[in-house]
Structure 1
Amino acid sequence: MKKMYIVRHCEAKGQASNSPLTEKGFKQAEELNTFFNNVPVERIISSPYVRAIETIQPLAERLNVEIEMNSQLEERVLSTKSLSDWPEKLKRTFENPCLKFEGGESSEEAANRILEVVEGAFKSKFEHTVIVTHGNLMALLLNNYNKQFGFNDWANLSNPDVYLLNSNSNGINFERLWNKVRG
């Protein structure tokens, strides 16, 4: 049974692609490294954003596993306009996956990006893969496998967060792992 660990990046100093982790975020990255001590991780695929790379760097270095950058794992752009009511707009995109705002992508479009990466990873030879991404993309992926996972679940994600996707004869199911160890 193949296992896919979907990781949301640790606490960062901002939302820009070049925003690094905070001091707390670097400590969280070390906690993640420890969290994966008993997992035989063979492959790491990450968003090219600095905060995602810095999140998984300690694990990659310890295991001597190359981090594969994949732009399909970049944060979802809700709009290129500044939206003062962006949480309400984001909530609407969970209710209507085809809804798009100026310069942005729909939930459906964003979900398709990460789904392509996950499906490709499940078809690969590797049994244990870590995929590092961003909160909205993670939530859209999980929503694909369980439509009950929505806006409120996105709002309750932590930095970092870890979900395990299992692929078996019944399809793909998931469970949250990070809250089990972090309370």
Structure 2
Amino acid sequence: MLKKIYVIRHCEAEGQSPEAQLTDRGLEQALDLSEFFSNIKIDRIISSPYKRAIDSIYPLAKRLNIDVEIDRKLTERNLSIKNLSDWFEKLRSTFVDLELKFEGGESSREAMKRIVEVVEEAHSRNNNNIVIVTHGNLMSLLLMYFNKDFGFDDWKSLSNPDVFLLINESNKVTFQRIWK
């Protein structure tokens, strides 16, 4: 059975906090996402508990009359509890060394494990067309899990929102970017 998982990076938001709201442009993007999926069958929607992720998928969930399931494993990766002035370079280094950890944060490997668990659980269910809404860093780590060549520069090129289609055919997962 062919399983499709649509992994979505949230729409444009006002900040990084869990409560950060979508910008006006982000709200329009959420409507665009709903329209984008208008001819695609969706059986299940799973989202990060962050407000920007839930609000990004709400118009689609409402149109399809599907409840949004919240999964804490989809929260954004915490690089460190400290405010890192050189966070961009520190993040780059975690794409090279997946075990690298900064104070109070999680390694790329730990974050990757969380989102892979969500995808594996989704693959094990009877639903064939699933939407997962998450954050850019976590999405990148998931894609790196399935293709080791996906890296920091690919993360940098992601848009808000962004959509990748993961196809699981006979337990072999491939992916492609499908957002316009």
TM class by shorter-chain length?
over 0.9
CA deviation profile, 1:12-68 (whole Å, cap 9, x unmatched): 000000001000000000000000011110100000000000000000000000000
Tell me, which stretches of 5 or more residues in structure 1 are unaligned?
A: none
Q: Does 1:79 align with 2:96?
A: no
User: TM-score normalised to the size of structure 1?
Assistant: 0.97
* Alignment map for 1:22-171 (pairs within 5 Å): 22-169=23-170, 171=172
Alpha-carbon distance in structure 2 between the residues aligned to 1:170 and 1:114: 17
- Matched residue of 1:30: which SS? helix
Alpha-carbon distance in structure 2 between the residues aligned to 1:2 and 1:156: 26
* Bigger mean CA deviation after superposition, 13-22 or 169-178: 169-178
The aligned amino acid for 1:70 is D
Alpha-carbon distance in structure 2 between the residues aligned to 1:150 and 1:12: 23
Task: Give how far 1:89 is off.
Answer: 0.4
CA deviation profile, 1:53-104 (whole Å, cap 9, x unmatched): 0000000000000000000000000000010110100011010000000000
CA deviation profile, 1:138-158 (whole Å, cap 9, x unmatched): 000000000100000000000
Identity %: 57
Alpha-carbon distance in structure 1 between the residues aligned to 2:171 and 2:67: 31
Equivalent in the alignment of 1:173: 174
Moved over 3 A (4+): none
The aligned amino acid for 1:152 is D
CA deviation profile, 1:84-138 (whole Å, cap 9, x unmatched): 1101000110100000000000000000000000000011000100000000000
User: TM-score normalised to the size of structure 2?
Assistant: 0.98
Alpha-carbon distance in structure 2 between the residues aligned to 1:34 and 1:170: 30
Task: Give how far 1:170 is off.
Answer: 6.0
- Matched residue of 1:72: which SS? helix
- Matched residue of 1:163: which SS? strand
The aligned amino acid for 1:81 is K
Alpha-carbon distance in structure 2 between the residues aligned to 1:100 and 1:87: 14
The aligned amino acid for 1:97 is L
CA RMSD of aligned residues (A): 0.6
The aligned amino acid for 1:49 is Y
Alpha-carbon distance in structure 1 between the residues aligned to 2:74 and 2:47: 7
Aligned pair count reads 179
Task: Give how far 1:169 is off.
Answer: 2.3
The aligned amino acid for 2:163 is V
Tell me, which stretches of 5 or more residues in structure 2 are unaligned?
A: none
The aligned amino acid for 1:5 is Y
